[in-house]
Amino acid sequence: MRRVRTAIVSALVLLVGRRRARSAKPAETRIVPALPPNPAAEVAVLGLLGLSSLSALGFILIYAFGSDLPDVTPLLGATMGLAFLFLAAALVVVGLKLVPTEQIAEYYPPHEHPPDQQVIAELVEESGTRFTRKRLLKLGALGAGGTLGLALLAPAASFGPLFHVGDFLRTPWRRGRRLVDENGRPYKASDIEKNDFYLAFPEGLNDEEKEQMAASLVVIRLDPDQLHLPPNLKGYDAHGILAYSRICTHAGCAITLYRAPLFQPDEPKPALVCPCHYSTFDPASGGTVTFGPAGRDLPLLPVYVDSSGYLRAKGNFDGPVGPSWWGVRMWKAQP
């Protein structure tokens, strides 16, 4: 074993060579103190550098030829990571064991430089002696600079409709528009079963238009004698079928949780819940908030069943869809 080790060390020594420690300069004129050499540490550094190279090589090989391996990414990450880590280890050994760590004391830079401050201040003051209306000129400069700045910023106003509020109230729902599923198939009232919840859109929208917040609905059916809608929402249901906006009024997530008790006496009441912050809406009472942070009831779309049995909108929502903003209680959702 010793012979092998000697052989390796000899090979490395031959390969890399070792210079005689330079002792030409006398100790007093050196900047960095002379410390005795540390051959073991040098060998360790060489070994680590070698391992780093091997890892890096491994990365290159796996990258070039190993794309069919099942765990390519972990292998690539392991080889690249180890390449860096071995190199880091080599640097650490150099830092801790091979390079002198001096502790030097010196003064902090001065707190301030009064002479230079003085000169600067004088420069500024003296160069202004020709001005007689300093305050007025400063005001003028401020005015010009300020208005110029505003002018430069003004085109940014076109990034988006800064003053246009109307869009927030617009919805794709009109009186008589049919409710369809994600594939465009219209819903019949008989399709809507109790204890289930359905995704619905207005008929005729393309995929991009379906992403509007006011488009999507969550449709459920409750027993009519379970309903206790407030007076302003009377008649919004179609024999217990309720079409709520799918977008939570708290922060805009889609309401995709429906609590549908199988055996009502023992289980929590039906509820529409949002998965983001668990705002819980009671569908039987018009979407009132029973838990969670939402500050506004869930908007309800009035629906009716037409002569062929299809579900159609009777009008627009009872309020704007989506998260609240300053004017959300000022207007009903407009067609």
- Residues 163 to 182 in contact with other proteins, rule: CB under 8 A: 163-165, 167-168, 182
- What is the DSSP-derived secondary structure letter of residue 318? S
Q: How far is the CB of 126 from other proteins (least distance, A)?
A: 28
Tell me the window of 2-10, 120-128, 212-220, 231-239 that interacts with other proteins (CB under 8 A): 212-220
- 38-67 b/e (C-beta count within 10 Å ≥ 16 → b): eeeebbbbbbbeebbeebbebbeebeeeee
Cβ at position 121, least distance to other proteins in Å: 19
- DSSP H or E segment with residue 137: helix 134-153
Residue 179 tokens, joined? 């409710």
The answer to whether 74 and 62 have CB atoms below 8 angstroms apart is no
Asked if residue 246 lies in contact with residue 217, where contact means CB atoms within 8 angstroms, the answer is: yes
310 sits near other proteins (criterion: CB under 8 A): no
Looking at the Cβ atoms of 110 and 135, the one nearer to other proteins is: 110
Residues 238-257 close enough to bind other proteins by CB under 8 A: 246-247, 250-257
Distance separating alpha carbons of residues 36 and 318, to the nearest angstrom: 86
Chain centre to alpha carbon of residue 215: 25
The verdict on 89 binding other proteins (CB under 8 A) reads yes
Strand partners, 243: 219, 301
Look at the alpha carbons of 217, 223, 229, 235 in this order and tell me if their dihedral is positive or negative: positive
Does residue 197 interact with other proteins by CB under 8 A?
A: yes
Nearest residue (CB) to other proteins, 285 versus 324: 324
Task: Give the list of residues 6+ apart from residue 276 with CB closer than 8 angstroms, or none.
Answer: 248, 250, 251, 253
For the chain, how many residues are written? 335
Residue 247 CB: number of other CB atoms within 10 A? 24
Are the beta carbons of 67 and 61 closer than 8 angstroms? no
Using rule CB under 8 A, residue 88 touches other proteins: yes
Which of 111, 133, 134, 135 is in the footprint of other proteins by CB under 8 A?
111
Closest contact distance (angstroms) between CB of 67 and other proteins is 5
Q: Over the range 128-137, which residues count as b (16 or more CB within 10 Å of their CB) and which as e?
A: eeeeeeeeee
Which range of residues in 119-127, 141-149, 206-214, 311-319 is near other proteins by CB under 8 A? Answer: 206-214
- 161 versus 230: smaller Cβ distance to other proteins: 161
324 contributes a contact to other proteins by CB under 8 A: yes
| CA 289 to chain CA mean position, Å | 28
For other proteins, the closer CB: 235 or 295: 295
Q: Which stretch binds other proteins (CB under 8 A): 147-155, 188-196, 230-238, 300-308?
A: 188-196
Interface residue with other proteins, options 162, 231, 307, 308 (CB under 8 A)? 162
Angle between helices 2-16 and 39-65 in degrees, nearest 10? 80
Interface stretch with other proteins, choices 36-44, 97-105, 117-125, 228-236 (CB under 8 A): 97-105
102 binds other proteins (CB under 8 A): yes
Q: Which of 47, 260, 306, 332 binds other proteins (CB under 8 A)?
A: 260
What is the Cα–Cα distance from 53 to 250, expressed in whole angstroms?
A: 55
Piece of 231-239, 298-306, 309-317, 319-327 that binds other proteins (CB under 8 A): 319-327
Q: In the bound complex, what is the minimum distance in angstroms from residue 138's beta carbon to other proteins? A: 26
Task: Kindly determine how many residues on this chain lie close enough to bind other proteins according to the rule CB under 8 A.
Answer: 114
Between residue 15 and residue 74, which ones bind other proteins under the rule CB under 8 A?
Answer: 32, 63, 67, 71-74
Q: Which is nearer to other proteins, 113 or 138 (CB)?
A: 113
